[in-house]
Amino acid sequence: MVVAVQQAHAYADVLSMAGLRREHLICPVFVSERQQDDGGDAIAAMPGVSISSLKDAVLSVQRISDAGIRSIIVFGIPKSRDGDGSAAADRNGVVQHATREIKSAFGRSLDVITDVCVCQYNLSGHCGLVRNSGTVDNDSTLQVLAEISQSHAEAGADVVAPSAMMDGQVRAIRDALDRGSYAATRILSYSAKHASSLYTPFRSAAFAKKKGAIDKAGYQVSYANPRQAMREIAGDIEEGADMVMVKPGLAYLDLVRRAKERFSVPIAVQNVSGEYAMIKAAGMRGWIDEEQWKVTSLAAMRRAGADRIISYFALDVVQYLQ
């Protein structure tokens, strides 16, 4: 979007007052093994966001790096799934392959964060292993998450980001990383990940053939219980998390502020796909000023105390930052 010079200066001033800088931004990157994604197809529910093929991943990240963003988070889309999501821990899996290529190209100039979960790799779409009873098996999932994290660290990930919301996942991952001589690999835990329909556009990209809602309220945080969110964050820090996250963003900034005031580790927030889609949809119809709301959203997250912000608007907003 072309923005008048005077307006661009105004946005830069707003973001400067909020204290937002380039190093606070984390740009999401979708990398796919599927043949249908070879052309870098756009995600229908997320206009302006594309899925990269493995062969184009470095080119996609080059654009992000050239803009001055120094952190990305990689989400993988495998070519096939099975009941246990076994491809997630494959040393030659999509995230592992992409991470090796990206780190080889950019080295220490770019922090690579990797999403650690099984939901994009199994048949159920749940964040844990689902047994015959139809329930998520928390304890069995922990070993899988640990193996995934080790494989990501081996591939060169600077940070692993467990998003499964399984009890004990941070401790299991920290222990596995330390045993595997990856003590320097940091953990960004999705500690306060709330059950929300705002993840639907993301799922439409990751689960092209998955229909219907996936109820994850049994293991994700209730939006009505702030004390639960603080307990989850405190527990993950005790288990060894280097950073913690609140997700979604805009309706949960009170929790970002609470966490910032209570805990000493960096606090991240994710400006999720549904928040992105709502702003894009309203902006495309002329109902709101899209550019203003991109800036407003990220400024509000920083103002609330977020140290790191994962946002699909990162590339749009970075142009206003010093």
232 marked as binding residue: yes
Q: Residue 134's pLDDT is what?
A: 78
Q: Residue 1's pLDDT is what?
A: 61
Q: Residue 3's pLDDT is what?
A: 74
Residue boundaries of the structural domains of the chain: 28-209+218-286
8 A C-beta contact, residue 194 and residue 220: yes
Instruction: Classify residue 19 by its DSSP letter.
Output: T
User: What residues are labeled active site?
Assistant: 193, 247
Phi, psi of 142 (to 5 degrees): -60, -45
* Measured CA distances, 26 to 15, 61, 111, 114 (Å): 16, 12, 9, 11
Lookup: tokens for 140: 């069995």
Cα-trace Rg, the chain: 19
Q: Residue 40's pLDDT is what?
A: 62
**What architecture is domain 28-209+218-286?**
Alpha-Beta Barrel (3.20)
**DSSP annotation string for 131-195:** -TTS-EEHHHHHHHHHHHHHHHHHHT-SEEEE-S--TTHHHHHHHHHHHTT-TT-EEEEEEEEB-
**CA-CA distance, 119 to 89, in Å (whole number)?**
12
Residue 201 CA, distance from chain mean position? 13
- Average pLDDT, consecutive stretches of 10 residues, N- to C-terminus, the chain (322 residues): 80 94 98 73 88 95 98 96 92 98 98 96 91 87 98 99 97 98 98 94 75 80 96 98 98 98 98 97 98 97 98 97 82
127 marked as binding residue: yes
27 marked as binding residue: no
Could you tell me the maximum CA-CA distance found in the chain, to the nearest angstrom?
61
Cis peptide bond upstream of 162, omega within 30: no
Q: Residue 54's pLDDT is what?
A: 95
